[in-house]
Amino acid sequence: MKKLLHPVTITLFVIVLLLSLPMLLPKKEIVPTDAQLRQAAASHNLVPIPKTYHGVLKATYNPENPPSEAKIALGQQLYFDTRLSRDKTISCATCHLLQEGGDDNRPTAIGYHGRANPKHLNSPTVLNAALAKAQFWDGRAKDVEEQAGGPVQAPFEMNMTPQEVEARLNADPEVRHQFETVFGEGNVTFENVRKAIGAYERTLLTRGAYDRFLEGDDHAISAAAKRGMTLFVTKGCAGCHTGMSVGGQSMQHFPLRRYFSDYLGLIFEPNIRLKESPFPFVNEGGFLGKNNELKFRVPILRNITKTAPYFHNGMVKKLEEAVRIMSKYQVGQEFTKTQIADVVAFLKTLDGKIVKK
């Protein structure tokens, strides 16, 4: 019996040892080549912004609002026109500063007479927004043309009605002439105001080091950025932050995961306001996404280093913390400090400049 038992025991021991080796031995990190990384990015539709202005117009073309040089010029003029606000102090550019990442760098926008968004919503970037499939945090507008009419009418933003906008602009003979040239109509209509602004916003695409890397320049981004991009693609980030805009292509549930450990701190800090929030930060403003279902339009990550603070209510100040939260609550694997640093290095490559004529 002992003779039979001995080889059986040895065999079982060997089997257990072999099965345990993957856990006992450190995993060898697989580092893709630059070509492989580009191929992996392409599989998630992570493609570069066109190099030329003509390419930008083609990439953002809206058949319901075909662009023209005059329409874009009119839209640019209106984008900076404070007459679209009741007290003539606020324009689209007030909350969407093109030199500051396309937003205002505030937790929530401040509008007419210093009013803040009642739901404490953070202003999304206007840069590359034309590439998104929906606008606003809850995705309620289908495109930038529809979105352009929202802030104008919101009482806590520009506080105007379509009729008031039309009356104010129609009082300017030069503006009426411009609208007639572009739209063939002598009178200004609110719909055409939206179309002109939308046509201009469709030109606001940005390119940077990330695009040059995708196009074949191996030296465009650092080794750390390549490691971060590898994590971004392989760990699931690119599943939602996809497309030419690196986001804005879908509505997603947030947070996907919850942890019992998040609630342990409440025992020792009973006054902490996180207990009132479904998010891993205070839910200032009480916004719960589309239909109160915790569904949000996926943010556009281009120029993300310039659009702090983060998340829908701007409660997270640091990009590193935003990456940590997303890795833990969306990916389901909290990144280490080194991994976070690499991902941030990659995100910095998404900074870019507007493609000019």
* 112 and 69 in a common domain: yes
Locate 119 and state its tokens: 């739901």
Residue 56 lies in a domain: no
* 78 and 180 in a common domain: yes
* 161 and 72 in a common domain: yes
Q: Look at 106 and 11; give whichever has higher pLDDT.
A: 106
Residue 337 has pLDDT above 50, yes or no: yes
* 210 and 197 in a common domain: no
Residue 13 neighbours by CB under 8 Å, 6+ apart: none
* 253 and 142 in a common domain: no
> Residue 52: what pLDDT?
98
Positions annotated as catalytic residues are: 157
Q: Last residue of some domain: 172, 201, 230? A: 201
Which class for 337: exposed (0-12), middle (13-18), buried (19 or more C-beta within 10 A)? exposed
* 195 and 157 in a common domain: yes
Residue 286 lies in a domain: yes
Q: Last residue of some domain: 201, 232, 267? A: 201
Q: Is 295 helix (H, G, I), strand (E, B) or coil?
A: strand
CATH of the domain at 129: 1.10.760.10
Residue 1 lies in a domain: no
**Per-residue confidence band for 274, with pLDDT thresholds at 50, 70 and 90:** low
Mean pLDDT to the nearest integer, 41-58: 98
> Residue 7: what pLDDT?
59
* 253 and 320 in a common domain: yes
Which class for 8: exposed (0-12), middle (13-18), buried (19 or more C-beta within 10 A)? exposed
* 110 and 233 in a common domain: no
> Residue 4: what pLDDT?
47
* 225 and 89 in a common domain: no
Q: Last residue of some domain: 149, 170, 201? A: 201
> Residue 96: what pLDDT?
97
Residue 2 has pLDDT above 50, yes or no: no
**Per-residue confidence band for 185, with pLDDT thresholds at 50, 70 and 90:** confident
Q: Which of 131-140, 261-270, 298-307 has the lowest mean pLDDT?
A: 261-270
Residue 44 has pLDDT above 70, yes or no: yes
Q: Which of 126-130, 193-197, 258-262, 274-278 has the lowest mean pLDDT?
A: 274-278
Residue 265 lies in a domain: yes
**Per-residue confidence band for 348, with pLDDT thresholds at 50, 70 and 90:** very high
Locate 37 and state its tokens: 């990384």
> Residue 113: what pLDDT?
95
Residue 119 lies in a domain: yes
> Residue 19: what pLDDT?
57
Whether the CB-CB separation of 346 and 229 falls below 8 Å is answered with yes
Question: What's the pLDDT tens digit per position in 206-261?
Answer: 999 999 999 999 999 999 999 999 999 999 999 999 999 999 999 999 999 988 77
> Residue 262: what pLDDT?
72
* 242 and 313 in a common domain: yes
> Residue 41: what pLDDT?
98
> Residue 152: what pLDDT?
98
Residue 8 lies in a domain: no
Locate 294 and state its tokens: 């915790």
Locate 209 and state its tokens: 């080091």
Residue 18 has pLDDT above 60, yes or no: no
Q: Which of 19-33, 114-128, 139-153 has the lowest mean pLDDT?
A: 19-33
Q: Look at 27 and 156; give whichever has higher pLDDT.
A: 156
* 329 and 240 in a common domain: yes
* 187 and 234 in a common domain: no
Residue 147 has pLDDT above 80, yes or no: yes
Averaged confidence pLDDT in the chain: 92
Which structural domain range is residue 110 located in?
Answer: 61-201
Question: Rounded to the nearest 5°, which phi and psi values hold at 348?
Answer: -65, -30
Residue 346 lies in a domain: yes
Say how far apart CA 34 and CA 213 lie, in whole Å: 9
Residue 141 lies in a domain: yes
Q: How many domains does the chain divide into?
A: 2
Say how far apart CA 211 and CA 56 lie, in whole Å: 13
